[in-house]
Structure 1
Amino acid sequence: MKQLKLAVMALFAFATVGTVSAQDSDNPWVVGFGVNAVDFRIPTEFGEYAKDYIGTSDWNILPSVSRISVDRYLNDGFTLQVAGSLNKIETFSKEDDMDELYWAIDANVKYDLNNLFGDTAWFDPYVYLGGGYANLGDAGEGTLNAGLGFNTWFNDNLGLNFQSGGKKEFADKVQDHFQHSIGLVFKFGGKDTDGDGIYDKEDACPEVAGLKEFNGCPDTDNDGIKDSDDACPEVAGLAALNGCPDADGDGIADKDDACPSKAGLASLNGCPDADSDGIADNKDKCPNTAGPAANNGCPWPDTDGDGVLDKDDKCPNVKGVASNNGCPEVVIKEEAVKKLENFAKAIYFNSGRTSFRPGVKGKLDLMAGIMKEYPKANFSIEGHTDSQGREASNLRLSEKRAKAVVDYLVSKAGISGNRLTSKGFGEAYPIASNKTRDGRAQNRRVEIKVVK
């Protein structure tokens, strides 16, 4: 008896180091195997009743597996327990000894006290109430059962059970008695398809092993972001970039970064722009000197140093002037200029028309001859009218007459059209009075000017 008492005390101490969780809907079944003790002496006075309940000197114990139980979790902390026990009664009371076989079958409803006090995970205390059938020798009858107990779990499936309670008889065939039991219990029935320790009913990813903090879903790269929310599930990254890495720390995920090893700009797909010319260094032929995209990021050259960039310089290897597109300023002899001006004064048109009067074409040919002597010179042909008629009509007429001169010089006299421009000014710039016939004749003129 002393050995049993010591065993019970040891099991109570061992119960305090248990872990894991109580029986619940995840593991709804529990099977138990253990020993039971029956105490038949129940005094009538309360003090003696409590003393007898605590004392072990009159316990009847069969030194073998003498109790088997099966528990099925129901709901909301309630569990149905069916148990069968066997014992040999040798001590009935202080005065009476016997040698009779005892057996009992019980069905109890247990209630988990953790539902009231809070889940302790490893410690699972309960109270129970139920009924059963107890048989002693040749007599047997139904009983009302009530008591308490606890399970403490060592791991996910194995635990220790202790249960103690009283059985109230109804027909005086089997005296009221206490029955205590202790043994090992095994819980099972929970389904964990992926084996990650999280049961399928609570596992958001039941077919893929995962982590408890992600409800059973995996985090392959261990970056704290579950794979389903991770844009780069196999490479550890940052939460701000949906789980993708940023090797150069420029705030652009490597998968979207054209230059993942060098910090750059979002506008250039993560590539740097050292000279801030808007062209990524990896596409910039002059990465440290700002230049336009049209010249691959390099500044436009000015080979001849005349202030006109080569791209705009028609004479890039010879210093010139901007007014002549980078070419040297053409110098025409003063004598030639005066001849052109005199020839221009002899250009007359039929009244209100753009057709030339007789003899004018000869003058145009002479003008073309001078232009050919200076092949790099450009000229502007300007048309003017008197103030007779409507101003708008005069402007159109002057434009057409200036163009008629250009057309003749190009098509008949062989002068390149790139060297000539035409413009009409109408009556805007008179050189004589429009009130006299002679003055109006002077105003109806064509002028030729050298373009510088």
Structure 2
Amino acid sequence: MRTIKYFSFLLLFLAANISKAQEELQITAKDSIVQSSWIVGVGFNAVDDSGNVFDGLFDVGDEWNIVPFPSRVSIGRYFKNGLGLEAIGTYNKYKDGKIIDDEVIFEDIPYYAFDARLTYDLNQIIGQTGWFDPYIGIGAGYTDANNRGRGTYNAVVGFRTWFSDRWGLDFNSTGKWAMKSEVGVTNHIQHAAGVVYQFGIEKGLSKRGEEKLELMAAIAKEKQRQTDSINEVNRLRDEALLAERLEKQKREDALAAAEKAKLDELNNKRNSIKSRIEELGYVYFDLNSSVVNRKSKDVLDDLAEVLGEIPTLKLKITSHTDSRGTSMYNDWLSQRRVEKTKAYLLSIGVREDKLLTEAYGERKLLNECNDGTYCPEEKHAVNRRSEFVIIEF
């Protein structure tokens, strides 16, 4: 017995340590990455078409052409394998005094470009970096620059930096080579920066997240093995507790059965009283009358006997009219009828504390004889009544 207790304590200690490690090793938002999405972007672009791109790569003042408002829009679909397809439209303006094709121009010249490109996410190679998302790509497009249209082959390098799963910034540079060699048609480079937004996102686990998931599965398997061992040790104890639970359940079942029997008895008593009262029938009145007639007094005499036999019985008397006459008149008439009904019961010895009253006027007709329906007198008479509802018994 002492060996079993020691073994149980050891298993519990190991299980507690594994549980603690598993609590610390959880899949979090940091372990998930965006695997595919749509991305739209709006931003600025700068064109260097000076003819000596690499000599004056950062000569912004003389060689870069930029307009002072958002001039680039893009939309793209990006897939789990790292590839992305993107369509881009840009507008710019070559400014008077800038160097274009190795010469200074003396007028403003508009620039338009429509490009499509295929990109590859370099994180597929270097591993997920979270906020930093570099890419390279190739593509083709059409550009109207320096008043000359031309098809272009494009190569792009860039990166996105993400502030959240939705929002980020995009920075890239694209080299554009004319598809045909023509006089005055040269190659140029286009830089871009802007805000990007992701939607239609599909997320999955990063490599680190997958490793954590595998480790968690291994821990869970070991925990289950140890739990099974602990359960085996506890089996004998559970068997001893089972008899106690069964005895307790037996007592609870007996109490529930007694409670049900008591409730059934009350329901049977209520139904029996209700049937007796319903068999007596209603107290009926003549048209425009609140007088309790002889036949109705017989009903009330019998009702008084029931009230006398059952000291705990309390009733609510409800009185009604037919639909003829105004609603205000019928409310008054039903109030008179309920008072006269109660008054007769009191006169034959029924205690007042056993009776409640309520007058409904024409609001609770027993048939279709409302204000808009013609009915013979026999049907109207059905509605001129006092009823009796059990409150306590």
Q: What interval of TM-score do these two structures reach, taking the shorter chain for normalisation?
A: 0.3 to 0.5
The one of the two structures with greater contact order (alpha-carbon pairs below 8 A, sep at least 6) is 2
Is the strand fraction higher in 1 or 2?
2
Q: Which has the larger radius of gyration?
A: 1
| TM-score (norm. length: structure 1) | 0.39
